Chains A and B, each alone.
Chain A
Amino acid sequence: MFETVLLSLSEGFVKSLEVFFLTLIGAIPLGLLISFGSMSKFKPLSFLVKVIVWIVRGSPLMLQLLIIYFGPGLIFGNNWWGSGSEGRFIAAMVAFIFNYACYFSEIFRGGIEGIPQGQYEAGEVLGMTKSQIFFKVILMQVVKRIVPPMGNEVITLIKDTSLVRVISVYELMWNGQSFIKSSGLIWPLFFTGVFYLAFNGIVTLLLGYAEKKLDYFKV
């Protein structure tokens, strides 16, 4: 029995990892883009972006998952996401990436706005272009500043992956819980906790390593 459970949980865990990594890959660049939007000097744009960020951060991710998955089919009579598990997975990823991009954008904005004006000016008087200033001077300082708050979000994301089950994406916890129905076993569900804790442990170590790596300078 143990082997059956382990196999099933491992399969679910792989799905959870897919959600985790794809969210990060999608949400980091999108978040940077959104942060530029919210800092834009063009007021209508920054206002619009701020409203969107407010909506996304102000409502439950689970609600967003449901709306994004069921919305197109029920409102427009046309399920964009396609049928079957693949369609559900795509919808889940869209919801996750957009949700996390909004959270990340606020962290990026804080990090970018926290860089003193003098750093930009020092680059300017040395004849650097705007993009040289951003990539050669500002970015590394932003990265150093945002590692701790990003760490928080990443750890939350690991646990949030369990939400995709509400649209029947079969991730770790779904598989753990299924043993209650099928075999009357509760311990597989508890066992999923070991997976989350172990993965969180690894991520925490990596974050600590990143912080240490960036210790060579102070901002």
Chain B
Amino acid sequence: MSILEVKNLRKSFGNTEVLKDINFTLEAGEVLSIIGSSGSGKTTLLRCLNFLETPDSGLILVQGKPLFNSEDTTAKSDAEIRRSRQHFGLVFQSFNLFPQYTALKNVTLASELQAKERPDYKTNKKYILEDIRKNGERLLTQVGLFDKRDNYPHQLSGGQQQRVAIARALSLSPDILCFDEPTSALDPELTGEVLKVIKGLADHNTTMVIVTHEMQFAREVSDKVLFMDSGYVVEYGTPEEVFDHPQHERTQQFLLRYSGNE
């Protein structure tokens, strides 16, 4: 069974249709890169998956279970939406770390808040919090920032902040980790460290959806590539198919422009 299935997804803002009938599937452990020019709907698609936007119609299934179904008109409670969100993690273009917390606290905060809902929280508080802290430190080690655990976001470089943000997104063990142009806000010399962390996650079979403008990186890291143009999926296939043998003229033009830049 596919870990993620998106069917007939549509989304409009006012009169502008941003997503027009999006369909794709993703298997567990796979990496999907979404490429395309600005305004093609990539970010909106990612935001729909994370329930930051509500699609107008369509179906989102995770492990066969519908998380979003426009046919189902019963209103979802906040708690249900929060539960659905847990399947996804999201790393933002602009990091969005919480400035008043240390790197470690940024990673552990959500887990700590969730732990409070556990029935055994009061009796096992010390043990539970200790566990969460250890997990946070493990994640910071994984992104190479254990020694920065007590630093506040403003004391970190952009690349370091984004790596903390990746650790934070992993803290609730999402099924699918999403990245919204994770290196676009970074100085060119800082993109490498972030891409390396993402590559490391891919090597450990983390299921990921990555919106990116880094074509070389997308080719290396992806199992599937999806090219979007003005709200449509124009091309969808393996990196070889999309990058080396694009079927559509739009894809060819887009890739040509990028290879010219590199």
Residue of A nearest to B112 (CB): A136
**Count, A-B residue pairs, CB within 8 A:** 64
A130 in contact (CB, < 8 A):
yes
Chain A residues bordering chain B, tally (CB within 8 A):
22
Among A124, A125, A216, the residue within 8 A (CB) of B152 is A216
Looking at A85-93, A114-122, A171-179, the stretch in contact with chain B turns out to be A114-122
Q: Is the CB of A127 within 8 A of B92?
A: no
Contacting residues of chain A (95-142) with chain B, CB-CB under 8 angstroms: 116, 118-119, 121-122, 124-130, 132, 136-137, 140-141
Taking CB atoms, residues of chain A closer than 8 Å to B169 are: 125
Residue of B nearest to A216 (CB): B152
Residue of A nearest to B89 (CB): A125
Given A217-B154, A219-B99: A129 touches B52 (CB 8 Å cut-off) = no
Taking CB atoms, residues of chain A closer than 8 Å to B83 are: 127
**Cα A140 to Cα B99 with chains together (Å):** 9
Q: Is the CB of B92 within 8 A of A129?
A: no
Taking CB atoms, residues of chain A closer than 8 Å to B110 are: 126-128
Contacting residues of chain B (83-122) with chain A, CB-CB under 8 angstroms: 83, 85-86, 88-90, 92, 94, 96-101, 109-110, 113-114
Q: Is the CB of A129 within 8 A of B153?
A: no
Among B85, B97, B109, B153, the residue within 8 A (CB) of A125 is B85
Q: Is the CB of B50 within 8 A of A125?
A: yes
**Cα A124 to Cα B113 with chains together (Å):** 13
Q: Is the CB of A140 within 8 A of B100?
A: yes
Q: Is the CB of B100 within 8 A of A121?
A: no
**B45-70 to A contact mask, C-beta < 8 Å, 1/0:** 00000111000000000000000000
Contacting residues of chain B (6-32) with chain A, CB-CB under 8 angstroms: none
- Other A-B contacts than A122-B97, A217-B101, A219-B100, 13 sampled, CB-CB below 8 A, are A118-B92, A118-B94, A121-B92, A121-B96, A122-B98, A126-B109, A126-B110, A128-B113, A129-B78, A136-B109, A137-B98, A216-B100, A218-B154
The 9 A-B residue pairs whose C-beta atoms are closest, nearest first, are A126-B110, A118-B96, A122-B96, A218-B154, A125-B90, A217-B100, A140-B100, A217-B99, A127-B82
